[in-house]
Structure 1
Amino acid sequence: MQTPYLLLLLFGCLTGITTVLFGFGGGFVTVPLVYGLWNTTAHPGTDAMHVAVATSTAVMAVNSAFATLTQWRQGRLRREYIWPMAAFVLLGAVAGSLAATRISDTALRVLFAAYLLATIADSLLRKGFLSTPRAQGPRPLGRPARTLGGVGIGSVAACLGVGGSVMTVPLLRRRGLPMAEATAMANPLSLPVAVVGTTVYTLAAPTLHAQTGRLGYIDLLACAALLAGSLPTIALARRATARVPDRAHSIAYVTLLVIVTLVMVV
């Protein structure tokens, strides 16, 4: 069992990079990885997707908090795009996490892949993501986006264990923010989802508490290995976003989503 956890440590470094560059908090990397390892080496057919989503939310809670603190110290966060939207994201996250515990493992995996495909199509087909008009500055979020949009983002993100960055980044991008700022804002907006999701998944599977290394649906050993790789990487890569050209940054964002989708489908 040492080899899978060494692999998780190495991929933890990748989650650190995606947290800094894309605001993912690790969800799109950790869900397919933990799902594959749990399903093939640990307990085949035993709530693999639920364990993957739960472990992902736990990793995101720590990664997003650390990245938020780092970006706040660097002055990259803008309060008007975070609050009060974060409060509505929190409300949606409660509903989404509870819903996920009642969905079958297969249905959860299908929804995860469908969500990725819809996001990729939206980013490629709609204007405003791959590039933003130079003459037009950032625009404030409207009330529907802050309230109903926040609830929707929290619900979907918590249900699928993805943190919400794939909805918040395109939303902020289309309001005229550069990718570096949009991805920076994704971390504090993902934090409520991760905290609520971790709490719900910890309490949702009492039968797993007796298993060594488990807390509810969360695989503690996998979580620790991922964080051991991600946290140092976040500290080292925190200045990288400012050096990436805006268009290359947005293209890399969509490319990573395509790769994760292929991994989940295969």
Structure 2
Amino acid sequence: MAVWLLVYLALGAFVGFFAGLLGIGGGGVMVPLLVMLFAAQGLPAGEVMHLALGTSMATIFFTSLSSMRAHQAHGAVLWRIVARITPGILLGTVLGTHIASRVPTKALAVIFTVFICYVSVQMVLNAKPRAQRDMPGLFGTSAVGVGIGALSCLVAIGGGALSVPFMTWCNVKIQHAIGTSAAIGFPIALGGALGYIWNGWGVPGLPAGSLGFVYTPAVLAMVVSSVLTAPIGARQTHRLPVATLKRVFAAILLVLAVKMLWGLFSAP
């Protein structure tokens, strides 16, 4: 078990840094790696994807707090947007976790991989939607939040891949979009983690140490390292070539997602 904890610590450090740097929750990396690690540990094959999603959301909860504080220190969080979108986000997480808990592991893996392909292409092209309008009002922003919250829980992300383009389209400066996305990741992760705990509660065959679909030993190890590296990544947002790093990160995401999918479908 000690070896696995060291692996989770390393994974958390990597995820935390990129969560702070790019305003993402890190689920794109965590989910495929956790699926592979859980399978190697002999956890139930039919639930490894659900456990990976729930565990990722619980970890993102803590990562988002650290990343949010760091971006707030730079004055990059627009709290009026966070307040408007959060009601919809919370409703979306309820819907997303409910749907995910009833979808088989392999189907969830396909959904995840398709989404990661979209995110990877977006990063490689460094695609930024043109600022064509202002932010909508409370109802419109909350409605967008429902979609972001639901999809974020289906693929265990902090919402950055969705909320940053949306805010950029609505004429929000990119640094503010990234910082605000980090803050939006908090209600996404909170609702997502609670949803996966609730929907996985009482499912037979889950490993010891699980709270529903959240595998707490992995969460605790990843949180310890990720909360330390997320502020480091956030500080580098204004210093490093973020566009280049996005392309490298996109390649990593795509390789991991495809490998995960191959592993699940090639297993006996």
Same-fold call, TM > 0.5? yes
Matched residues in 1 for 2:98 and 2:183: separation?
22
| Residue deviations 1:147-193 (CA, integer Å, cap 9, x gap) | 33211111111122112221112222334545433222211112112
Query: SS of the counterpart of 2:75?
Result: coil
Query: SS of the counterpart of 1:147?
Result: helix
2:240 to 223, 239, 244: 244
Matched residues in 2 for 1:182 and 1:251: separation?
19
Aligned to 2:19: 19
- The alpha-carbon distance between structure 1 residues 8 and 117, as it changes in their structure 2 partners (threshold 3 A), is same
- The alpha-carbon distance between structure 1 residues 247 and 98, as it changes in their structure 2 partners (threshold 3 A), is same
Aligned to 1:36: 36
Matched residues in 1 for 2:211 and 2:80: separation?
36
| Residue deviations 1:39-91 (CA, integer Å, cap 9, x gap) | 12222514000000000010011111221122213211123432302221121
- The alpha-carbon distance between structure 1 residues 217 and 132, as it changes in their structure 2 partners (threshold 3 A), is closer
- The alpha-carbon distance between structure 1 residues 109 and 178, as it changes in their structure 2 partners (threshold 3 A), is same
The alignment of Structure 1 onto Structure 2 pairs a total of residues equal to 260
2:219 to 218, 223, 228: 223
- The alpha-carbon distance between structure 1 residues 100 and 132, as it changes in their structure 2 partners (threshold 3 A), is closer
- The alpha-carbon distance between structure 1 residues 245 and 80, as it changes in their structure 2 partners (threshold 3 A), is farther
Query: SS of the counterpart of 1:238?
Result: helix
Task: Give the aligned residue type for 2:50.
Answer: H
Aligned to 1:203: 198
CA contact (8 A) 1:90 1:193 kept: yes
Describe how 1:29-178 pairs up with structure 2 within 5 A.
29-121=29-121, 129-130=126-127, 140-143=134-137, 146-177=141-172
Task: Give the aligned residue type for 1:115.
Answer: F
Matched residues in 1 for 2:180 and 2:249: separation?
15
| Residue deviations 1:185-232 (CA, integer Å, cap 9, x gap) | 211112112111111221222246985321111111111111122111
CA contact (8 A) 1:208 1:216 kept: no
- The alpha-carbon distance between structure 1 residues 229 and 168, as it changes in their structure 2 partners (threshold 3 A), is same
Query: SS of the counterpart of 2:24?
Result: coil
- State yes or no: 1:258 paired with 2:254: yes
1:235 to 228, 231, 251: 231
RMSD: 2.7
% identical equivalent positions: 25
CA contact (8 A) 1:89 1:154 kept: yes
Query: SS of the counterpart of 1:242?
Result: coil
Give the TM-score, by structure 1 length: 0.85
Matched residues in 2 for 1:247 and 1:45: separation?
37
Matched residues in 2 for 1:140 and 1:81: separation?
12
Task: Give the aligned residue type for 2:142.
Answer: T
Task: Give the aligned residue type for 1:239.
Answer: R
Which structure carries more relative contact order (alpha carbon 8 Å, separation 6+)?
2
Matched residues in 2 for 1:108 and 1:171: separation?
25
Give the TM-score, by structure 2 length: 0.85
Task: Give the aligned residue type for 2:232.
Answer: L
CA contact (8 A) 2:82 2:180 kept: yes
Matched residues in 2 for 1:92 and 1:61: separation?
16
- The alpha-carbon distance between structure 1 residues 215 and 178, as it changes in their structure 2 partners (threshold 3 A), is same
Instruction: Using the TM superposition, give the Cα deviation of residue 102 of structure 1 relative to its aligned residue in structure 2, in angstroms.
Output: 1.1
CA contact (8 A) 2:43 2:207 kept: no
Task: Give the aligned residue type for 1:13.
Answer: A
Aligned to 2:265: none
